[in-house]
Amino acid sequence: MNKLQADILEKGICADLAAQATNLVMGDGNLNAEIVFIGEAPGKNEDEQGLPFVGAAGKFLNEMLAQAGMERSDVYITNIVKYRPPNNRDPLPEEKKAFWPYLVKQLQIIKPKVVITLGRHSMEYFLPDMKISQIHGQAKRIQFGDDKLVIVPLYHPAAALYNGGLRGTLIEDFMGVPRIIELIKTKAK
């Protein structure tokens, strides 16, 4: 991962974002994780600390992990865009495109069984032309390079913090993740 980080810095990926960011936020967690969570972009707290999902959305993510019998140290968490967009705006298509090859390399290093996308920005790269409102919580097997990858799109924890109606939906979807992992393991035997 250090090589990827050095490559991003050396090539000046998204220099405009980098100029106003405090930190490049690559990711955090277990490099041998079965599950990788992918959000959109760092927020203010993430930018300050250099770690993904450490603000209010991160606390909610940690709560859901605990409810599902998982710990943050068991998973890997990252974002598509590795710098905080100004004023927490949505990442722009060209920013997501610039960082996509680095996300792909992260996944190739970790080799997860499941990728959980948090929000539509990360979902659309794996499941283009799909709407999160229609497929949230549903496991989708896709071709990813030479491998098959299971994608589970979930609403972003921040959306659930701002929209109370989504909170229950997100928790319910999240509680289905351990079952999806068990199904994958059973099929692999």
What is the per-residue DSSP string for 115-144?
EEEESHHHHHHHSTT--HHHHTT--EEEEE
pLDDT of the residue at 165 = 85
Q: With contact defined as beta carbons under 8 Å apart, do 42 and 121 qualify?
A: no
Binning pLDDT at 50, 70 and 90, where does residue 136 land? Answer: very high
Binning pLDDT at 50, 70 and 90, where does residue 161 land? Answer: confident
Element (H, E) at 79: strand 76-79
- Considering its fold, how many domains does the chain have in total? 1
Write the single-letter amino acid at 173.
Answer: D
pLDDT of the residue at 144 = 84
Give residue 155's Cα distance to chain centre: 11
From the number of C-beta atoms within 10 Å of its C-beta (0-12, 13-18, 19+), residue 113 rates as middle
pLDDT of the residue at 74 = 92
Binning pLDDT at 50, 70 and 90, where does residue 150 land? Answer: very high
pTM of the model: 0.94
Q: How far is CA 20 from CA 23, 39, 86, in A?
A: 9, 20, 7
Residue 132 sits in a domain whose CATH number is 3.40.470.10
Percent of all residues in the chain with a pLDDT value above 70, rounded to a whole number: 99
> Mean per-residue pLDDT for 140-164?
89
pLDDT of the residue at 189 = 63
Q: Given a cut of 90, is residue 162 above it in pLDDT?
A: no
Domain range enclosing 65:
2-188
pLDDT of the residue at 107 = 95
pLDDT of the residue at 145 = 80
Look up tokens 């319910």; give the residue.
172
- Roughly how many angstroms between the first and final C-alpha of the chain, as a whole number? 30
pLDDT of the residue at 188 = 66
State the chain's mean pLDDT as an integer.
Answer: 92
Distance CA 58, CA 146 (A): 32
Q: What is the pLDDT of residues 17-69, one digit of tens each?
A: 999 999 999 999 999 999 999 999 999 999 999 999 999 999 999 999 999 99
Q: Which residues pair with 140 in a beta bridge?
A: 151
